[in-house]
Amino acid sequence: MPLSPHYAPFPVHTDLGPALYDEVRAASFPGHILRWRHAPAAASVGLGELDDADWVRHFARFEPLPGNLVVPLALRYHGHQFRQYNPDLGDGRGFLFAQLREQKTGRLLDLGTKGSGTTPWSRGGDGRLTLQGGVREVLAAELLQARGVPTCRIFSLVETGEPLHRHDERSPTRSAVMVRLSHSHIRFGTFQRLAWHRDKDSMERLLDHVITHHYPHLANVPDRPAALLRAVSHRKADTAAAWMAAGYVHGVLNTDNMNITGESFDYGPWRAAVDLDPAFTAAYFDHAGLYAYGRQPGAVLWNLQRLALALTLIGNPHTLGPALEDHGLVYERQLARRWLWRLGLEAGEPAQDTALVGTLLESMREARLPIDRFVHDWAGGAAAAERALSGPHAPLYRRRWFAPIRALLDSRLPVSTPPGPPPTMADGAPVGLPIERVRAIWGRIDAEDDWGDLHVAVERLRASAAWTRQLSGPPPLLA
């Protein structure tokens, strides 16, 4: 296979010892039709030169990559699922396949699978993934990346030729195996499992491992458990703020779906919110709305508190609690910065930004303004007025109740002159993925094996991302 000089294998998870994983084998599939490969992501880890045959060998048959993990690892973890503790979790239909260094940053990256077969943690499941589920993961990751959200990237999707039966899909349905590229698959639940077993030695090794490979600036601090908790808290505050500014609802914010590097992953019943309705819920089985749009920040904090409890096995409870005290402040500041970034408006003093954005969001919420349309029309603030007032929602924006929102938009200068009109979807709608569009994309694939709409949607999302970066620069990082 052709190897780029930028391919830098770095398999280090086995350093943690067998208490944290099980060696497994991938399933053997009857078919291998390559449906998706993330070319920029592949180039970033030196795998962009693989031809399709080599790609399928490694990301559907799972032959080891050179110098990498020899055997896939199903990771062990516990977790709170809808706030009920479950000690029987673990990678039930996926595994860690490889670890690499990213070309530009040198950061450690994982290649992890979904739908790759049964493991000791399958709990009676078939270890498979539906093709529809894989398509939804591709779309979710592309939407979030376009909106500046810290996210995994869907590296590969291969259709595998098995008919699957699922109660929530028309059965039989098509099957697939997926590979995601993420900065880590170490979860909050990884720490929870070691705390459950009172395994202090493994917890110390895990703490050392996470700090060495993901938070090296904490190597010499005096209270490392509390310092790590605070650093993870800040990253998760930023991710929660980014979800909210993107109008995104994850759907299943269990502790096993929280990783220690902050970016989001595992996109099951996600939805894009139409407006800022705090009660909007993504998962059909979330009957109480525990993970509704407006409750996501609270869910993240609750999960961080569970991580803090797990860390008391090796840390000081009197310092772990205070490590979360500034979580809310970081969240509020990042929420303001990320909304200003989406709207292309200059940031200022944090307290003033928080107040301005808070007032703006309350007005948008009361008016039930569609998120994607509002951002499409008003990105650039006053500089976008001509576009907004000549568009389909112009009569709405001329009403008296909109005047305070207009005043808020006019109160901040644009970061730069808008680079022409923002991109739209193929039908002229603002760039976005409401559930109707997601269903239509899958419908064309399912009925006609027509993947054109998916590729067009991804193209428009990436064009929208480029436009936003021209207007606002890169997404706002933590201060």
CA distance 225 to 227: 6
| Of 93, 155, 116, the residue nearest 29 (C-alpha) | 116
Specify burial of residue 281 (Cβ count, 10 A radius: 0-12, 13-18, 19+): buried
For 437, how many CA atoms within 13 A lie in the half-sphere containing its CB? 23
| Of 188, 178, 164, the residue nearest 93 (C-alpha) | 178
The vertex-405 CA angle with 369 and 247, nearest 5°, equals: 40
CA distance 466 to 70: 38
Extract the tokens encoding 312.
């008391």
Q: Pick the catalytic residue from 91, 110, 238, 256.
A: 256
270: left (phi over 0), alpha (psi -120 to 50) or beta: beta
DSSP 90-111: S-SS--EEEEEE-TTT--EEEE
Query: How many C-beta atoms lie closer than 10 Å to residue 242's C-beta?
Result: 27
β-partners of residue 21 are: 75
Concerning whether 286 is annotated as a catalytic residue, the answer is no
Pairing of β 153-159 and β 175-182: antiparallel
CA distance 407 to 400: 12
Residues recognised as catalytic:
256
